[in-house]
């Protein structure tokens, strides 16, 4: 069952979503060559404490940190470590979430570390565009397949592939609610979008093959061919007035 939210609940989700986005923006500044991903973890943990938010990630299915920091060929769920030193030219996916007043916020961005190659820049641009185009599809009467197909089409049209093993999701008083939102699909298929539905849409786009492997830490998902991957995530509500992106500052 897809849970529809009231206007008051959507405002709570917006508070959570904006807080996540605010902190993601702040970490961007710390993602410099020489910093470790554990430095970023510590920064985020401190900010959540200051802002009075609880981490949505730490302890979730045993996940040990408040931040997922995934570098280059790592797609998602990279565990922050003091041995992972960022270097110029890396791309870094930052994914984090909060619980505020019982409502979840979840968002992700992929950022450059210093100057990055033109091909890496293009991957980030296309992945973020795929997300923006998908958000535009979050309209009354559209179907979930319209959202999914939009991500897939934009990625593949640009010569990239979409990850199949991980999906976006409904979000509310739980981080993961129905429906699952794949980054591939068929227009005109799936549930019809109704007022008050709230989705976390999160394209994961690979420069090479779509396949993934999970490392021995049982979390870090990497590309099967070692090529780059990018990830962006926004929360969006279905409203009478069109898509309402709750993670926009």
Q: Is the peptide bond before 243 cis (omega within 30 degrees of 0)?
A: no
Return the number of the residue (114 or 206) whose C-beta is nearest ligand MF3: 206
Please answer whether residues 72 and 113 qualify as being in contact, where contact means their C-beta atoms are separated by less than 8 angstroms.
no
DSSP string across 61-101: GG---SEEEEETTEEE-PPP-TT-B--TT-EEEEEEEEEET
The minimum distance between CB 159 and ligand MF3, in angstroms, equals: 26
First to last CA, the chain: 30
Compose the 199-238 pattern: x for residues touching Co ion by CB under 5 A, - for all others. -x--------------------------------------
Residue 137's contacts (CB-CB under 8 Å, 6 or more residues apart) are 146, 147, 150, 243
Identity of the residue, 138 or 200, whose beta carbon is nearer to Co ion in the bound complex: 200
| Length of the chain measured in residues | 249
Our CB check for ligand MF3 shows the closer of 157 and 248 to be 248
Q: Whole-angstrom Cα distance, residue 236 to residue 245?
A: 4
Binding status of residue 181 toward ligand MF3 by CB under 6 A: no
Instruction: Give the separation between CA 190 and CA 192, rounded to whole angstroms.
Output: 7
Cβ-contact 169, 180 below 8 angstroms: yes
Interface mask (CB under 6 A) for ligand MF3, residues 56-85, using x and -? -x--xx-x----x--------x--------
Question: Is residue 45 at the binding interface for ligand MF3, with CB under 6 A as the rule?
Answer: no
State the minimum distance, in angstroms, from the CB of residue 216 to Co ion: 24
Asked if 19 touches ligand MF3 (CB under 6 A), the answer is no
Residue count, binding to ligand MF3 (CB under 6 A):
11
- From residue 97 to residue 116, the character string flagging contacts with ligand MF3 as x (rule: CB under 6 A) and all else as - is x--------x----------
Q: Taking the complex as a whole, how short is the minimal distance between the CB of residue 171 and ligand MF3, in angstroms?
A: 8
Question: 178: helix, coil or strand?
Answer: strand
Interface with Co ion includes 177 (CB under 5 A)?
Answer: no
Selected from 106, 146, 177, 244, the binder of Co ion by CB under 5 A is 106
User: Residue 181, by phi and psi: left (phi above 0), alpha (psi -120 to 50) or beta?
Assistant: beta
Residue 80, contacted partner among ligand MF3, Co ion, none, CB below 5-8 A by kind: none
**Chain contacts with ligand MF3 (rule: CB under 6 A):** 57, 60-61, 63, 68, 77, 95, 97, 106, 200, 202
């Amino acid at each position: 069952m897809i849970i529809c939210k009231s206007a008051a609940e959507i405002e709570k989700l917006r508070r959570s979503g904006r807080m996540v986005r605010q902190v993601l923006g702040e970490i961007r500044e710390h993602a410099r060559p020489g910093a470790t991903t554990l430095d970023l973890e510590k920064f985020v943990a401190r900010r959540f404490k200051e802002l009075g938010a609880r981490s949505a990630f730490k302890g979730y299915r045993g996940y040990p940190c408040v931040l997922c920091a995934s570098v280059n060929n790592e797609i998602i769920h990279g565990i922050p470590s003091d041995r992972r030193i960022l270097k110029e030219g890396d791309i870094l996916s930052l994914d984090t979430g909060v619980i505020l007043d019982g409502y979840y916020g979840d968002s992700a961005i992929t950022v450059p570390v210093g100057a990055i190659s033109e091909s890496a820049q293009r991957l980030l641009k296309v992945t973020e565009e795929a997300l923006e185009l998908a958000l535009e599809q979050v309209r009354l009467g559209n179907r979930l397949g319209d959202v999914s197909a939009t991500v897939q089409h934009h990625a593949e049209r640009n010569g990239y592939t979409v990850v199949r093993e991980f999906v976006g999701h409904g979000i509310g008083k739980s981080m993961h609610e129905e429906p699952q939102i794949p980054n591939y699909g068929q227009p005109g298929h799936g549930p019809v979008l109704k007022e008050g539905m709230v989705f976390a849409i999160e394209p994961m786009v690979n420069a090479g093959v779509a396949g993934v492997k999970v490392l021995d830490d049982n979390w870090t998902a990497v590309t099967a061919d070692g090529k780059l991957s990018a990830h962006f995530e926004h929360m969006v509500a279905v409203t009478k007035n069109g898509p309402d992106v709750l993670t926009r500052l």
